[in-house]
Structure 1
Amino acid sequence: MGDDENRPQKAIPAAVKAMVVDTLGGRVQVSWDPASAATPFGQLVFFAEFLEVSGLFDAWVEECPLIYSSPNAPKKRDVLGTWNLSILAGHRRYAHVTALRSDGVSPQILGMSKIVSEDALRRALGKIPEAEGTEWMRKHLFKSVAASCHTPWILDIDTTIKTLFGHQEGAEVGYNPHKPGRPSHAYHAYWMGNLRLLLDVEVTAGNTTASNHAQPGLNRVLDALSAEQRPYLVRGDCGFGNDAVIREMETRQQAYLFKLRQSPRVKRLLQRAFTRRDWMNAGQGWEGREDSIQLAGWQQSRRVVILRRLLKQNLIATQEQQGQLEFAFVDRRQTARVRQLISQLLDIENSDFKMLHYNSVSC
């Protein structure tokens, strides 16, 4: 707050005239007041115009599988509109909905009659059938990114750990780097690379962070796409570089790029690769070369790409073996030649030298 108060405010030009915006609640005239403070929903009217022109909000409300039988029940548009406004305000609890009850402008912009209470919203979401509600949300989530799938794009797989406090469904103790031993949820998300547009996300228990728990959702996302919408590449970290996930990609003839864990066989492959001189320039300071490897549990040998680049921060890498520190020299030339060069440099007093130390990544 202190930084915001001290930050100079940019004045609104006097030439800015009132704007007429078509929203879900009708036509609204927007004018700028340079003497008033900004509100959290100051730009809501322009977002409502987008929802009106695209028809996304009306279709989302109309296809929601929420059915009321009581004549005293709130309107479905009021329930979903309250939920939408609460998310836009950054709320994380149902109790925060109460802060919207005094807002009389935002509901009208979205074509709502009122803001429902937090209890009404909680009961309404509980009445939506899980299977139908999941399909409803996935359909409209993909509709918002479908237009971007007709150009070459990369599908990223990411697993996020959300720490939980209190008693929540699916809260289990598992891998939690932030708070070890604390129950959590695992969010398996499938993103459109660079654009960071979400295709789907699956919330599972905290002890289901492995790639085999994210694979069903990945298969579902790929199977829902047509041939023209398929990603150019599926990308994941070393947790997805196993035979089960790779075979699913090969069955669908889907290109993929997964990192490999540095198992003993991978390390031996790296050692052999560093003694070769047929490295190619991969751009941005990287060198690369191709090879093949068949790890334990793989049904066939597969192509791998090895990348390396020059490190400037470390002069000499050391490793401890049986309580004794040893120099670990890595270079594209042979190790004997490097040791001889370093020995010559160490004999020169007050001289500066650099160790050619390469970092390798296999994928």
Structure 2
Amino acid sequence: MRTKSTQEVQKEALVDTVAQVGRKGKGIEVSFSGRGLTPFGGIGLLGGLMRKLKVKEALESKVQLARRERKYSLGNMLLSVIYACALDLERLSDTVVLRKDGVFQQVVGFDDYPHQTSLSRFMSKFTVMAAKDIGEVGADLRRTVRGETGGQCRITLDMDSHVTTVYGKQQRAKVGYNPKKPGRKSYHPLLCFVGETRDFLWGRFRPGDRNNVQDSKWFLKECLVRLGAGIKELFLRADSGFYSDDFLKCLERRRIWYAVVAKLYPAIQAQLAGLEYRDIGSGVEVGEFRYQGLGWKKARRMVVIREEIAEGEKKKREPKLLELKGHTYQVIVTNIEDWAPEEVWRFYNNRANVENMVKEGVLGYGLDVAVSHSYAGNMAHFFITMLTYNLMNWLKEGVLGQQKVKRMAKWVRQHFFLIPGRLVRKGRKLILRLSQSYPWKHEYWWAEARLETLKLPLLS
């Protein structure tokens, strides 16, 4: 028999002391003897939506993985990671709470939940092709949920990128643009969302030393392939990372209307002081000029937004804004000729939603986490994370009735997933008894009813 270390003996003594104080000092006896309990009593809403969409079947039919865990089906392994993302269990080590929660497993239809080591091995076995297959499943499901065109004759694509800093020796992580952790290795994925519905459309997982200009044309093609037919007008918004003549020409050839923030090179800055500006209120002025950059075959319309910096106001740290003589300047290049400058500016400003979408992926589902040393494994996790994002987006809209204003993932968890419950057997029937003091019973039953009668496609 192994002899316990001094540290282990001290730890056991401390635990015993704390337990005794908890029993006697506070008048409440504490014991870990409850059975059939779960903190995730409302997770069946997400499980019901995934069954209705046949997510497991779609993953198993599309994702090809030569080697996998024998004990668990491919679909259940992927659903295990989706549930972990949805419940904010970012690290695979955090999933122990689901492995130990038999009630959760019964609610979602699992016989068992895989161990952390099984999940780690599973993620490490991915190939790049298999990882992209998960993204393809997400794109197929989006078409199922939205219909071929998403109910839209006009669609706006919002493009962005995100830096995921890594702290180990992950494959193909490189040092590149990293404003929060300069000099750290990272991944630098590209993401594209549909502005009207906030759906994730497609992404490209990349090493950290890739910049947006290098991949923007190919990424656009990948995104367009995953849009349905029947779209009459296509718009695109992007930040200055996508500002290049090649990308703009690509958009123009495809007859895509765009508003892209320009990089404020000295030649552009030189134009700003001599412009005529028109006041549109609240300290904001607009102007415009034509500009033909070096190597460009034609001049393009440049919309300028000038905002006064009020006395005592903190300077704006937005890197796309130029500060000059008491004003900040932003320049947007566009091929939309019949809109007033302020209309172009307001259209671009709606792109702020994409930053909230990326924030939702980071704070809500673990987009910022590298779960594997394998590049393909981290790519797979990227697509799983964004599939989870879409599932939650559709849950909010179709089941919770949040069309115009959609709450963040944390709110959904607190109000609908994290409901204490006990699973009991009554005759041959299992009953999940949720907390009697749960304050949103009406909203929960309404969501259950909407899920039961949910009709596809969802049109926004």
Task: Give the TM-score range, shorter chain.
Answer: 0.5 to 0.7
The counterpart of 1:183, out of the listed 180, 185, 198, is 185
Match of 1:295 in 2: 293
Task: Tell whether the 8 Å contact from 2:139 to 2:226 is kept in structure 1 after alignment.
Answer: no
Three-state SS of the structure 1 residue aligned to 2:160 is strand
Task: Tell whether the 8 Å contact from 1:149 to 1:229 is kept in structure 2 after alignment.
Answer: no
User: How many Å separate the matches in 2 of 1:312 and 1:125?
Assistant: 52
1:181 deviates by 1.4
Counterpart residue identity of residue 296, structure 1? L
Q: Structure 1 pair 44/69, CA: closer, same or farther in 2 (3 Å)?
A: closer
Q: Structure 1 pair 329/262, CA: closer, same or farther in 2 (3 Å)?
A: closer
Match of 1:65 in 2: 64
Identity %: 23
Query: Which shifted more, 43-52 or 116-125?
Result: 116-125
Counterpart residue identity of residue 292, structure 2? Q
Q: Is residue 359 of structure 1 aligned with residue 358 of structure 2?
A: no
The counterpart of 1:163, out of the listed 162, 165, 168, is 165
User: How many Å separate the matches in 2 of 1:100 and 1:239?
Assistant: 40
Q: Deviations over 1:266-306 (max 9, x none)?
A: 12222231xx3xx5565766433342110112222112222
Three-state SS of the structure 1 residue aligned to 2:274 is helix
Counterpart residue identity of residue 45, structure 1? G
Q: Deviations over 1:39-67 (max 9, x none)?
A: 65232111222223333343334433245
Task: Tell whether the 8 Å contact from 2:237 to 2:260 is kept in structure 1 after alignment.
Answer: yes
The counterpart of 2:122, out of the listed 121, 124, 131, is 124
Q: Deviations over 1:161-219 (max 9, x none)?
A: 11111110112112221122111111211123375432222221111134223442222
1:69 deviates by 9.0
1:129 deviates by 4.0
Counterpart residue identity of residue 48, structure 2? E
Match of 2:44 in 1: 45
Three-state SS of the structure 2 residue aligned to 1:150 is coil
Counterpart residue identity of residue 223, structure 2? V
Match of 1:150 in 2: 151
Three-state SS of the structure 2 residue aligned to 1:105 is helix
Question: More helix per residue: 1 or 2?
Answer: 2
Q: TM-score, normalised by structure 1?
A: 0.68
User: How many Å separate the matches in 1 of 2:296 and 2:102?
Assistant: 62
Three-state SS of the structure 1 residue aligned to 2:251 is helix
Three-state SS of the structure 1 residue aligned to 2:189 is strand
Q: Structure 1 pair 118/189, CA: closer, same or farther in 2 (3 Å)?
A: same
Match of 1:84 in 2: 82
In the alignment, structure 1 segments of 5+ residues that lack a partner are 1-37, 318-327, 331-356
The counterpart of 1:96, out of the listed 77, 94, 97, is 94
Three-state SS of the structure 1 residue aligned to 2:120 is helix
Q: Structure 1 pair 81/238, CA: closer, same or farther in 2 (3 Å)?
A: closer
Counterpart residue identity of residue 49, structure 1? G
Q: Structure 1 pair 87/314, CA: closer, same or farther in 2 (3 Å)?
A: closer
Match of 1:19 in 2: none
Q: Structure 1 pair 141/104, CA: closer, same or farther in 2 (3 Å)?
A: farther
1:87 deviates by 1.8
Counterpart residue identity of residue 56, structure 1? V
User: How many Å separate the matches in 2 of 1:203 and 1:211?
Assistant: 15
Match of 2:391 in 1: none
The counterpart of 2:225, out of the listed 223, 226, 235, is 223
User: How many Å separate the matches in 1 of 2:140 and 2:291?
Assistant: 37
Question: More strand per residue: 1 or 2?
Answer: 1
Match of 2:110 in 1: 112
Q: Deviations over 1:99-134 (max 9, x none)?
A: 322111222233222112223333334444432441
Q: Which has the larger radius of gyration?
A: 1
Query: Which shifted more, 233-242 or 117-126?
Result: 117-126
Counterpart residue identity of residue 244, structure 1? D
Counterpart residue identity of residue 236, structure 1? A
User: How many Å separate the matches in 2 of 1:362 and 1:179?
Assistant: 27
Task: Tell whether the 8 Å contact from 2:159 to 2:238 is kept in structure 1 after alignment.
Answer: yes
User: How many Å separate the matches in 2 of 1:132 and 1:231?
Assistant: 33
Task: Tell whether the 8 Å contact from 1:159 to 1:209 is kept in structure 2 after alignment.
Answer: no
1:243 deviates by 0.5
Q: Structure 1 pair 43/168, CA: closer, same or farther in 2 (3 Å)?
A: same
Q: Structure 1 pair 116/219, CA: closer, same or farther in 2 (3 Å)?
A: same
Match of 1:269 in 2: 271
Match of 1:27 in 2: none
Counterpart residue identity of residue 44, structure 2? V
Task: Tell whether the 8 Å contact from 2:68 to 2:74 is kept in structure 1 after alignment.
Answer: no
User: How many Å separate the matches in 1 of 2:211 and 2:41?
Assistant: 39
User: How many Å separate the matches in 2 of 1:82 and 1:230?
Assistant: 39
Three-state SS of the structure 1 residue aligned to 2:49 is helix
1:362 deviates by 1.4
**Higher RCO, 1 vs 2 (CA within 8 Å, ≥6 residues apart):** 2
User: How many Å separate the matches in 2 of 1:100 and 1:329?
Assistant: 55
Three-state SS of the structure 2 residue aligned to 1:272 is coil
Q: Is residue 259 of structure 1 aligned with residue 251 of structure 2?
A: no
User: How many Å separate the matches in 2 of 1:111 and 1:88?
Assistant: 16
